[in-house]
A and B are shown apart, each in its own frame.
Chain A
Amino acid sequence: MKKSTFLSLVIISGMITSIHAQDIYYTKKGQVSFFSEAPLENIVAHNNEVTSFIDTKKAEIVFSVLIKSFRFEKALMEEHFNTSYLESDKYPKATFNGKVKNPEVVKPEDGAYQVSVEGTLTIHNVSNPLKTTATVIIKNGLLSGMAMFNIRLTDYRIKIPSVVSGNIAEVVEVRVNCEYTPYDRK
């Protein structure tokens, strides 16, 4: 009885590690930046603590971003961004869950591959579908991904008071840049 439990445990854990070793890539230090270009002011913010997983077998990709990890040049912007616009005390995370629609274009050898990604982006507790192209780069066996897309603030119920509307763009450009490692150790 005991022996069989032990055996099945060994088999199951063996299966889990083999699944992980081959198909799952991750990062916990990916980058997401956004850019707002408005007549009065350009705003840039960077986040270096992005977690992302890619399941190459299922062509699935997920991102989790902490709103309070975005760093701005000006303290005032960072404060407004967190308290008034994104309400990061109430909604501390943004997430994206998606699928690569044409995973077959990515080859195991070194190169840059254009893929199209579709999924759901959740910011400020509001979810919207998102479609974008992304670049998958394979170099020396390492996998990285980059994407750039625009989001409309009103789609995520982010309200900008009219007093500062000249300082903040209605459409903000988001850039994603993640270098992945195989998920095998943990």
Chain B
Amino acid sequence: MSLLDNKKIRVILFITLIALIFAAGVFCYIMYRPHRDVQRETPVEVTAIGLVDLYQIDESSANLRFLDKAVQVKGVVAEVEINQAGQIVLILAGSDPLSGVRCTLRENKKVLPGAQITLKGKCSGYLSDVILIDCVIVD
């Protein structure tokens, strides 16, 4: 007589199997869950000029407000560049000609300098410009 004929053992085996599948599912979900999508988050809204000013006045308090947050920024495109990875970078003008908001686009779109634009992306901090990555054009 095989062990499988015992009802108790069959039930235990079945439960163990379900538990294993569940554990594997949780593991895969944690390991391979998709990237955070800032586009689905409620953004902090600000103008490009305001954002640069706030960073220039006090970087650490600006970081508390914007760093790692979804930020929606409105401004005028001063320059359009292509980075070394082939992504389009829009530079929105700040009040200081030396500093603006550099926005790396998630998907390349043709934008002309001078355009008034609203973008949403993740703020990764301030170098000589405020940096937004993973940006999508809202308007």
Complex Cα–Cα for A126 and B123 (A): 24
Selected contact of B36 from candidates A67, A75, A88, A177, CB within 8 Å: A75
Residue B116, interface by CB 8 Å: no
Q: Smallest CB–CB gap between B135 and chain A, Å?
A: 12
What A residues does B46 contact at CB under 8 A? none
Q: Smallest CB–CB gap between A38 and chain B, Å?
A: 15
A:77-122 near B, CB below 8 Å: 78-79, 82, 88-89, 92-93
Determine the residue in chain B with the shortest Cβ distance to A178: B84
| Selected A-B contacts with CB under 8 Å, 14 pairs | A28-B128, A29-B81, A48-B84, A48-B85, A49-B104, A49-B131, A66-B131, A67-B124, A68-B133, A74-B32, A82-B68, A89-B67, A89-B68, A179-B84
Residue A30, interface by CB 8 Å: yes
Contact B102 A49 (CB under 8 A): yes
- B: residues with CB less than 8 A from A are 30-36, 63, 67-68, 81, 83-85, 87, 89, 97-98, 102, 104, 122-125, 127-129, 131, 133
Residue A69, interface by CB 8 Å: yes
Contact B67 A68 (CB under 8 A): yes
Contact A30 B35 (CB under 8 A): no
Complex Cα–Cα for A177 and B85 (A): 11
Q: How many residues of A contact B (CB 8 A)?
A: 28
What are the 10 closest A-B residue pairs judged by CB atoms, nearest first?
Answer: A68-B124, A29-B83, A66-B125, A69-B124, A51-B127, A92-B125, A75-B35, A66-B124, A48-B85, A64-B127
Q: Smallest CB–CB gap between B3 and chain A, Å?
A: 35
What A residues does B122 contact at CB under 8 A? 68
Residue A76, interface by CB 8 Å: yes
What A residues does B68 contact at CB under 8 A? 68, 82, 88-89
- A: residues with CB less than 8 A from B are 28-31, 46, 48-49, 51, 64, 66-69, 71, 74-76, 78-79, 82, 88-89, 92-93, 177-179, 186
> A66, A78, A178, A186: which has the most chain B beta carbons within 10 Å?
A66
What B residues does A67 contact at CB under 8 A? 124-125
Contact B89 A29 (CB under 8 A): yes
Contact B102 A28 (CB under 8 A): yes
Contact A69 B67 (CB under 8 A): no
Given contacts A69-B131, A75-B33, contact A93 B84 (CB under 8 A): no
Contact B131 A46 (CB under 8 A): no
Complex Cα–Cα for A74 and B35 (A): 7
What A residues does B33 contact at CB under 8 A? 75-76
Complex Cα–Cα for A64 and B123 (A): 16
Complex Cα–Cα for A71 and B131 (A): 14
Contact B85 A31 (CB under 8 A): yes
What A residues does B123 contact at CB under 8 A? 68
Determine the residue in chain A with the shortest Cβ distance to B133: A69
Complex Cα–Cα for A105 and B23 (A): 59
Determine the residue in chain B with the shortest Cβ distance to A75: B35
What B residues does A89 contact at CB under 8 A? 63, 67-68
